[in-house]
Amino acid sequence: MKKRGVGYASIFYGTGYGNGFPDESRATAEITPEGMIIIYVGVADVGCGAISIMWQIAVEALGIDKELVSLKYDNTSLIRDSGTGAASRQTYNTGNAVLDACSKLRENMKSAINGEDNLSIEDSKLGVIYLQMIRKNIDTRVEGYFKAATSEINLETGQGDPYWPYSFGVQRVTVEVDDETGKVDIINVFTVNDAGKMVNPVLAEGQAQGGCAMGIGYAIMEEIQLNKGDIKNRSFSNYIIPTSKDVPKIETFFVEDIEKSGPYGAKGLGEPVMIPTAPAIINAIYDAVGVRIHDLPATCDKVLLAIRNKTMHFK
């Protein structure tokens, strides 16, 4: 018989490396003689949309036509270190560095044309502004920098500020468990995240849904099998991940609680979106059939064994 259950889980997650580890990002903004703005930033886009996010932040900070702004991000001979594409830090950390660089460049551009023919950045060609900056000996290339606020935890007192800021999330998952086979089907997922201002809502929604899909795999199917340290299931034929048939409708919601220290109020989103999924699924299994799975993934054999042990215990 198939039985349904509902489970909830909530989390908070610190952005960045944390625990006092130096968490720095750098970016460079430059106006060219051709009338373009180039942003040099070491950002790796591993599916999180970071390149688009950096470009959007730059365009907003500069206040100019988006077609005049381009990013260079894949040549380490041109760009400075912005840290890794990890720890849900790129939008917050590197975004702040881009914002810093572009804000400085805009101020330089404003200084170059101040009071001359009532020109403004919005109605002037950037080539004209560039020439004025050269004539007035104003920097046409500026550096942006940001370092996250983090301190190491005192192991004796437990005091310290290992992370800032924190992102939050909660999920509700409905499952259907077959008590004759132990098979778990995910019926639907509702996910709510607070990652500050959504710089790109479409990317954020996709990231939240992708995180839930990863959480489903972690909860009920993905398992590394070892034999004396050697991985036995090395391919997708025996290392099972969710397919489109395993991922249900995922409804995403965002609470945009503005983070004042973030670029335009943004915080980290990458990892927090997947963390609540597995515990919510495990809670839903318990709600459906009354067994608690402590060893992930909750595969059919584990769930069925737990159900049978529970039945024998009550006999």
How far is residue 315 CA from its own chain's centroid?
49
CA atoms within 13 A on the CB side of 33: 2
Buried b (16+ CB within 10 A) or exposed e, 255-275: ebeebeebbbbbbbbbbbbbb
What one-character-per-residue DSSP string does 87-144 give? TT-IIIIIHHHHHHHHHHHHHHHHHHHTTSTT--TTTS-HHHHHHHHHHTT--SEEEE
Annotation marks residue 180 as catalytic: no
- The closest alpha carbon to 93, from 9, 141, 164, belongs to 164
Residue of 269, 304, 184 whose CA lies nearest to 14? 269
Inter-CA distances, 16 with 26, 58, 149, Å = 15, 21, 9
Q: In angstroms, what CA-CA distances link 93 with 16, 58, 82, 98, 265? A: 8, 14, 8, 9, 12
Catalytic one of 24, 176, 205, 271? 271
Residue with tokens 């609680």: 257
Catalytic center residues: 271
